[in-house]
Amino acid sequence: MTRKQKAEEITTILEELYPETPIPLDHSDPYTLLVAVLLSAQCTDKRVNTVTPHLFNLADNPHDMAEVPVEDIKQIIRPCGLSPRKSKAISELSQILIDKHDSEVPQSFEDLEALPGVGHKTASVVMSQAFGVPAFPVDTHIHRLAIRWGLTNGKNVVQTEKDLKKLFPKEKWNRLHLQIIFFGREYCPARGHKMKDCPICSKYGVKSRM
């Protein structure tokens, strides 16, 4: 079976299991999504969702956030980890949105990735989930599953993203990103993975390499 054929069958499985793909990070607009995604770096979505209500009650837009002392932001987001760096990034990007983008989240990869604390993966999530632009955000979890399923030999997330974009139709990228995340959490965890119980690994006999 070719990688392309395998990708098609995996898509069918994921569509059957996850016909609905709600965005796992609670947010109300592109700005609150951007902040939530930034906070999710090396942190679970569940924990982010417990922290952001407190943060957004204080400030849920660039103007208000730019007025909040960085130390106050840091204290609120401490449970998410990396709070010194993340709080500084949230404060600085809020001011940049005011100064350079009319207080709006820009709708381009280049402008998003120029913001403090925003890398390609974060920009891809915002572009796909806030603006509906085709993107395939690949984090370490999707990278792990793509290798486990034999869809890539990528040594890093950059190469894995390129491989997955070649295998799957562009119009499915945004949904697949979320479907793979949901699937990984339910059936294909990093630890304690039982190959025989995994609807994808058991079907294709892919050795658990990650």
pLDDT tens for 161-189 read: 999 999 999 999 999 999 999 999 999 99
* Enzyme catalytic residues: 121, 139
Q: What is the pLDDT of residue 154?
A: 82
- Where does a domain end: 102, 131, 160? 131
Residues written for the chain: 210
Question: Is 210 a member of any domain?
Answer: no
Q: Mind listing the pLDDT tens digit for each residue in 53-69?
A: 999 999 999 999 999 99
Q: Is 91 helix (H, G, I), strand (E, B) or coil?
A: helix
State which residues form the domain around 161: 3-21+136-204
| Residues 15, 38 within the same domain | no
Q: In this structure, are 34 and 13 located in the same domain? A: no
CA dist., res. 46 & res. 106, Å (int): 26
pLDDT exceeds 90 at position 210: no
Residues 6 or more apart whose Cβ sits within 8 Å of residue 177 = 125, 128, 135, 136, 137, 142
- Regarding whether 111 and 34 lie in a shared domain, the answer is yes
pTM given for the model: 0.92
CATH code of the domain covering residue 78 = 1.10.340.30
Residue type (1 letter), 203: K
Residues 56 and 121 in one domain: yes
Asked if residue 38 and residue 127 are part of one domain, the reply reads: yes
Residues 114 and 164 grouped into a single domain: no
Confidence bin at 206 (pLDDT 50/70/90): low
Q: Is the pLDDT of residue 209 over 60?
A: no
